[in-house]
């Protein structure tokens, strides 16, 4: 398993609709292992293959204290309700922004064994991650879903505020 560098906003691979996986084989499972390592190294709860420069429809989700899992060729088959959330992304480091997501989300995908699975999130971080990561394989970033670009909030690095105030 290898930690691969995260691609950032401005990299065209993030904007390309990713290619469908036609066969779930060992090379795909190795990629999933690298994605998982890269996600944890960057302290994320989800990652999509384009974020490490691979234009394939694969995402990994790793909720806190839960086993990570992969979704291959994920499609949102049901969504309902809306809620306002604050969101960030490994590919847009140092920023967060408010946006509207669904309350309930169901995604259909293949798992690492090539079997069809459905994953359901309801009013939780998982529901948010399912929409966020599925957006990634369609070339969509959360910044596209802000009401206005002015809503993007720059996070101050830890300690900066104290130093500035002391000056």
Q: By CB under 5 A, tell whether 49 contacts Ni ion.
A: no
Going from the C-alpha of 61 to that of each of 107, 160, 163, the distances in angstroms are 12, 31, 36
Instruction: Give the total of residues touching Ni ion (CB under 5 A).
Output: 1
* Distance, CA of 64 to chain centre: 14
> Per CB under 5 A, does 35 bind Ni ion?
no
Residue (89 or 107) nearer to Ni ion, CB: 89
Tell me how far apart the alpha carbons of residues 25 and 28 are, in angstroms, rounded to a whole number.
5
Of the candidates 32, 90, 91, 89, the residue with the CA atom closest to the CA atom of residue 56: 32
Q: Is residue 133 annotated as part of the catalytic site, yes or no?
A: yes
Of 21 and 137, the one with the shorter C-beta distance to Ni ion is 137
What is the rounded distance in angstroms from the CA atom of residue 58 to the CA atom of residue 44? Answer: 16
Smallest distance, Ni ion to C-beta of residue 143, A: 10
CA distance 65 to 55: 28
Q: How far is the CB of 123 from Ni ion (least distance, A)?
A: 20
Q: Which position among 37, 87, 131, 133 bears the catalytic label?
A: 133
Which structure tokens are listed for 98? 């408010």
Give min distance, CB of 97 to Ni ion, in A: 12
Binding to Ni ion (CB under 5 A): which residues in 54-93?
89
Binding residues for Ni ion, rule: CB under 5 A, are 89
Active site residues: 133
């Amino acid at each position: 398993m290898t930690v691969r560098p995260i691609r950032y906003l401005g990299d065209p691979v993030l904007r390309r609709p990713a290619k469908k996986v036609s066969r779930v084989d060992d090379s795909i499972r190795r990629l999933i292992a690298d994605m998982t390592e890269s996600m944890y190294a960057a302290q994320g709860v989800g990652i999509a293959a384009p974020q490490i420069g691979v234009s394939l429809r694969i995402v990994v989700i790793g909720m806190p204290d839960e086993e990570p899992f992969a979704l291959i060729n994920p499609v949102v088959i049901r969504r309902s309700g809306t809620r306002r959330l604050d969101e960030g992304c490994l590919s847009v480091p140092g920023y967060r922004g408010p946006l509207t997501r669904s309350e309930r989300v169901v995604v259909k995908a293949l798992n690492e064994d090539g079997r069809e699975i459905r994953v359901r999130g309801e009013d939780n971080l998982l529901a948010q991650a399912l929409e966020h990561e599925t957006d990634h394989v369609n070339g969509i970033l959360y910044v596209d879903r802000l009401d206005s670009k002015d809503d993007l909030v720059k996070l101050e690095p830890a300690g900066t505020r104290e130093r500035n105030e002391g000056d």
